[in-house]
Amino acid sequence: MKTAGKKQPVRAGTFEFEKVPSGIKGLDDITGGGLPKGRPALVSGGPGCGKTLFAMEFIARGITEYGEPGVFIAFEEKIDDLKKNFISMGFDLEDLVRKKKLVLDHITIERSEIEETGEYDLEGLFIRLGSMIDEVGAKRVAIDTLEALFSGFSNEAILRSELRRLFLWLKDRGVTAVVTGERGHDSITKYGLEEYVADCVITLDHRVVNQIATRRLRIVKYRGSAHGTDEYPFLISTDGISVLPITSMSLTHQASYDRISTGIERLDTMLGAKGFYRGSSILVSGQAGTGKTSLAATFVHAAAKRGEKCLFFIFEESESQLTRNMKSIGMDFAPLVKKGLVKFHAVRPTAYSLEMHLSMMLKHIDEFQPEVIAVDPISNLYPVGDDIQVRSMLMRLIDYAKSLQITGIFTNLSSDAPTETYAIEPTEMHVSSLMDAWLILNNIEGNGERNRVFSIIKARGMAHSNQLREFIMSEKGIELLDLYRGTEGVLFGSARMAQAAKEAADRIRRNEEIERKQRELDSKKYVMENEIALLRAKFAREQDEMETLIGQDVYREKASETAMKEIAAQRKADR
Amino acid sequence: MNKKTSSRKTEEEVAGGGDELVDLRLYVANATPRCLTAYENIRRICEEYVAGRYRITVIDLLKCPGLARSEEITAIPTLIRVPRSPGHRKIIGMLTDTQKVLDELDLVRSREYHRQGTVWQRGPAH
């Protein structure tokens, strides 16, 4: 079936209610738009579960955010108390009433003040409600808690038929209503109000598991609408309820091609010289003391230096402890925190339930709008929930981060097993499939020392180095160094250094040899050249002598010739 | 003055809660059978016990809906005696139980005085 434009497909035989945004954070995501428009919805829950807040937020946000005036009927709380309670949530009810956007009404029904004789109906309530709706032109009505009627009136048969009529009446009036009810022992509400509300039933729950209180919300029914059926954790904070619409997310986020540096030059080169993809999730696992936190902090520090906002959740240390420790490896977070680029959020894992942690984290993300988040370490969440819960929580967190193109770095403490090969634990296996990149830090024992070895197990969509590197932390920060391979295997730490020293010595020795030979050659050449010069000198001398001798001979010859001629002339020879 | 009148009025008190006016308000919504029955019942009771000293104001909330809030009316029909005093409760329903109505409206004193007095009879003791 094709869908035309943006319109929702309407299949034959089914119908989709028009929806009104509830104004409650997250709820509209689960319900695909909010509460059924012009219809009553039932919200049930035990005492202190947040029903009244739910109802009031629906009304108050309806006014302030969607311009829909509302009527709030309280059977239990007094108007002044309501005003006082909600001013701390940032709702100025007094002001809304003054602006004629809101009617607050407290209806007291005390059995001790009523004498019943004969049949009656609740038309007075309808008229009362009707007049208030007309007064402000209300589009929204909240009734908190309807059960109070049952304690006020004794004739249950009448009450039941009147409640049925009330829900129909609300529908007729076309107001979107939230009716709250007390949870029953075996039923959704104590008096079975859910029978009358066919369209939308939501339950709120506040339970304590392992001494940790969690609030949960569940949509029990929502006729004609697809909705998440899970229990969704929700938070009550100073700005009202926020439901976590996390499992409603899907794998539709846009993947970024943008790459961001890890803050460690050598790691960037291992990842194809560019670093990680923006919006990816990175798992750093390792045993105790392998430098996971430092690695995550380096990443965060580098991002903040680039001017990106980073949110750092710490489950192990306090903020000051972490900043102090990072200072020792050359990272100063203080100015970045001051500039508002880095925000730490340190909390004990056991302080809340998993859902609460997640809610808090999402809330902080919403508020701070970071580009990078770090969680150190996720393994500390395991005592709070089981594997599946932690995994699903992380999935929600990662999904959420990805949908906002937030890069996440998560550290995980693995059990200490100092072996040469890294032992992958089942829990890590679960978590790792959520991650785009997985870095491993391993402690290796040998030569009476422990050394840290770093490697990349996976990096989705990136060409990456398969080599191990030695992971070194110093006051200059983190460095990744090549490993030395010798005849006895890979060398780390001091063995690597010894090897390096030996190689350096060898190199020097070789250089000296070359120089020596060069010098020898030079001197030989000198000797040779000296000899040549000597020979030349000798030759020159000999030549000189020879030439002198030759000259003497020539003279002598000439002289003898002259003498002969003179003799001949004297003899008067004819020739 | 009060003492004087009260001592003089003892006989009349027996006849139905003093000479003060029994001012009643009956809140209804339209002339439904239930509301009509309630009206008839209260009128009968008043005629019987406080004849000539009562006033029943029937208020149709549909005509003045604002009163539902200010007077805190939830159930219909509701009968209230004015001015309201802490002892007076709202009576809701068709007012079928005469004794309950008498008790609630404080007309019951008449009965008690009857019992204490010489005449044990319904109605004026002349």
Q: What's residue B25's pLDDT?
A: 92
Backbone φ and ψ for A102, nearest 5 degrees, come out as -140, 140
Give A334-356 pLDDT, tens digit per residue.
999 999 999 999 988 877 777 77
pTM of the model: 0.64
Q: How confident is the model at residue A408 (pLDDT cuts 50, 70, 90)?
A: very high
CB contact under 8 A, B68 and A113: no
* Single-letter amino acid code for the residue at A242: S
Which residues in B lie closer than 8 A to residue A154 (C-beta atoms)? Answer: none
**CA distance linking residue B50 with residue B19, whole number of Å:** 9
Q: Mean pLDDT of all residues in chain A?
A: 84
Residue A145, preceding peptide bond in cis (omega within 30° of 0): yes
Q: Is the pLDDT of residue A5 over 50?
A: no
Q: Which residues of chain B register pLDDT less than 70?
A: 1-19, 87, 108-126
The one-letter code for the residue type at A250 is: S
For A7-23, write each residue's pLDDT tens digit: 444 444 455 678 999 98
d(CA A123, nearest CA chain B) in Å = 6
Query: Which positions in chain A touch B25 (Cβ < 8 Å)?
Result: none
Model pLDDT, residue A177: 94
pLDDT at A2: 41
Burial of A230 (0-12, 13-18, 19+ CB in 10 A): middle
* Cβ atoms of residues A374 and A410 within 8 Å: yes
DSSP-derived secondary structure letter, B88: P
Residue A566 vs residue A252, higher pLDDT: A566
| Of residues A16 and A94, more confidently modeled | A94
State the helix-helix crossing angle for A319-327 and A292-305, rounded to 10 degrees: 90
Backbone φ, ψ for residue B121 (5° rounding): -155, 150
Query: Nearest-CA distance from B29 to chain A in Å?
Result: 7
Residue among A375, A376, A424, A367 at smallest CA distance from A396 = A375
Task: Report angle CA A516, A520, A525 to the nearest 5 degrees.
Answer: 150
- A524 vs A13, more confident: A524
Q: Is A212 helix (H, G, I), strand (E, B) or coil?
A: strand
Query: Order of strands across the sheet with A114-116?
Result: A114-116, B90-92, B78-82, B22-28, B54-60
What integer pLDDT is reported at residue A241 of this predicted model?
85
pLDDT on residue A210: 63
Tell me, what's the ipTM?
A: 0.75
Top pLDDT among A255 and B81 is at B81
- The closest CB to that of B89, out of A114, A121, A128, belongs to A114
Q: pLDDT of A467-517, one tens digit each?
A: 888 888 888 888 888 877 766 667 777 777 787 888 888 888 999 999 999
Residue A528 has what pLDDT?
Answer: 93
Considering only CB atoms, which chain B residues are within 8 Å of A107?
72, 74
**Catalytic site positions of A:** 76, 316
Residue to substitute from A106, A115, A154, A156, interface B, most B β-carbons within 10 A: A115
- The mean pLDDT of A237-248, rounded to a whole number, is 68
Predicted confidence (pLDDT) at residue A563 exceeds the cutoff of 80: yes
Beta strands in A89-211 (DSSP E): 102-106, 114-116, 140-144, 176-182, 200-209
The pLDDT score that the predictor gives to residue A448 is 79
Chain B interface residues (partner A, CB cutoff 8 A): 27, 29, 34, 37-38, 41, 61-62, 65-66, 68-69, 72-78, 89-97, 100-101, 103-104
